[in-house]
Structure 1
């Protein structure tokens, strides 16, 4: 896991405000402050990257990624984000390397690791592959859930 000079990886999630800011800076869909405040403490393992040498290094995360799940059989890689101004420097690779290293050391054999990818060709280097046609990823936003 190697970051370019001027960056440091922290093994924790960013603050709620930084999480919301980073998703926007990476062009990802917004999450409500309430949802983020509830969700971040339930992270199984998370990392964020800060720029160092520019004031307080803890103030401005420029990347984040986390794993959520039950800690035993299901692990979901989520919220992988790098601010647009910092993309293409290996930050996402370093964060994914950290997540995979954690999984190798902590996830029991037989566990299932999944993710929803918005970028083609990135996650394959860690062994991820499309699940179709054996299975298909599906999703729904909570506001669209209805009783049937």
Structure 2
């Protein structure tokens, strides 16, 4: 199967469905509608034969000091085809071109050994990631 990388985020319904298909924490349609427009840079992976979106990834942040890689997902049926790597290559090309040298580029890694190939390192023990759980 062949795939096309598109420099755009999916619509809110597809965004929610892709996260669900990959077993990621759910996001509401309202949250997706509010948030996707604030994407600094995003990509979608589309199966060329069907036009079906099968993956996505994006960067959010302030465009100067902080760039956060998030919502990296490939539908399970399409994993193992290098799609995540292609999307990360695109995101990192954006960072290389647009982020100031002193920008803090971060992500929450949920796959061991994947993000290191782009130079990401664990922050602990120097710092620890934290979050505010939803109710």
Fold match by TM threshold 0.5: yes
1:33 aligns with 2:29: yes
User: What is the root-mean-square deviation in Å for CA atoms of aligned residues?
Assistant: 0.9
- Structure-1 residue corresponding to 2:118: 126
Instruction: Structure 2: state its 5+ residue gaps.
Output: none
Provide TM-score, normalisation by structure 1: 0.89
Question: Residues of 1 paired with 2:35 and 2:12: CA distance?
Answer: 10
1:108 aligns with one of 97, 100, 110: 100
Shift of 1:141: 2.6
Question: Residues of 1 paired with 2:49 and 2:111: CA distance?
Answer: 30
Shift of 1:49: 0.4
Question: Residues of 1 paired with 2:132 and 2:108: CA distance?
Answer: 13
1:50-65 pair list within 5 angstroms: 50-54=46-50, 57=51, 60-65=52-57
Question: Residues of 1 paired with 2:125 and 2:107: CA distance?
Answer: 16
Shift of 1:111: 0.2
Q: Find runs of 4+ consecutive structure 1 residues off by over 6 angstroms.
A: none
1:46 aligns with 2:38: no
Shift of 1:91: 0.3
- Structure-2 residue corresponding to 1:94: 86
Larger radius of gyration: 1
Instruction: Structure 1: state its 5+ residue gaps.
Output: 144-148
Provide TM-score, normalisation by structure 2: 0.97
- Structure-2 residue corresponding to 1:80: 72
Counterpart secondary structure, 1:28 = coil
Shift of 1:6: 1.1
